[in-house]
Amino acid sequence: MLAQTVDRQTVHKMIHHFYAKLLEDKLVGHYFINSLGDNLENERWKDHLTTLDNFWLKMMTGKGAYGGHPFPPHAFLGEMYIETFERWLELFKEALNQFFIPKIADKFYKKSEILAAQFMYNLDIGNEED
């Protein structure tokens, strides 16, 4: 049954499912494996997943313990491309649709598109003047 509300438990389940799938992906998985390892149970991943849970809970509900800036940890992951972000968004949308009713999944996805656009802008990816 799809979640009809956003709370810590539903965000946690979706985030963990998403990143497990992400690690298996040939296009984007290596960025995360190189930075955090290939096992979601290691301490670096556990810390990162807790941060992600807090981030998305705050983004979706305005509540939660996240108070940082999401971009800096991603600035040095290696060269990324528009396709990198398109694939991340595609996988994220799949996960959202597996866990949340369409109204909530769409709201999550719109926020993720804005975030991806900001990251690409910060990394100077897809700049029309290039």
Q: What is the pLDDT of residues 93-129, one digit of tens each?
A: 999 999 999 999 999 999 999 999 999 999 888 765 5
Average pLDDT, stretch 67-77?
A: 72
Other beta carbons within 10 Å of 66: 17
Give the integer Cα–Cα distance in Å for 93 and 97. 6
Q: Where are the alpha helices (DSSP H) in 1-130?
A: 8-24, 29-36, 43-61, 82-99, 102-122
Average pLDDT, stretch 32-58?
A: 95
When the pLDDT of each residue in the chain is averaged and rounded to a whole number, the result is: 91
Give yes or no for a contact between 28 and 87, defined as CB atoms under 8 angstroms apart.
Answer: yes
Average pLDDT, stretch 35-40?
A: 95
Q: What is the DSSP letter of 100?
A: B
% of residues, the chain, pLDDT over 90: 78
Position 129 scores a pLDDT of: 54
130 pLDDT more than 50: no
pTM of the model: 0.90
Q: Which of 4-13, 67-76, 81-90 has the lowest mean pLDDT?
A: 67-76
60 pLDDT more than 60: yes
Domains of the chain: 8-122 (1.10.490.10)
Any residues with CB less than 8 A from the CB of 21 and at least 6 apart, and which? 91, 94, 95
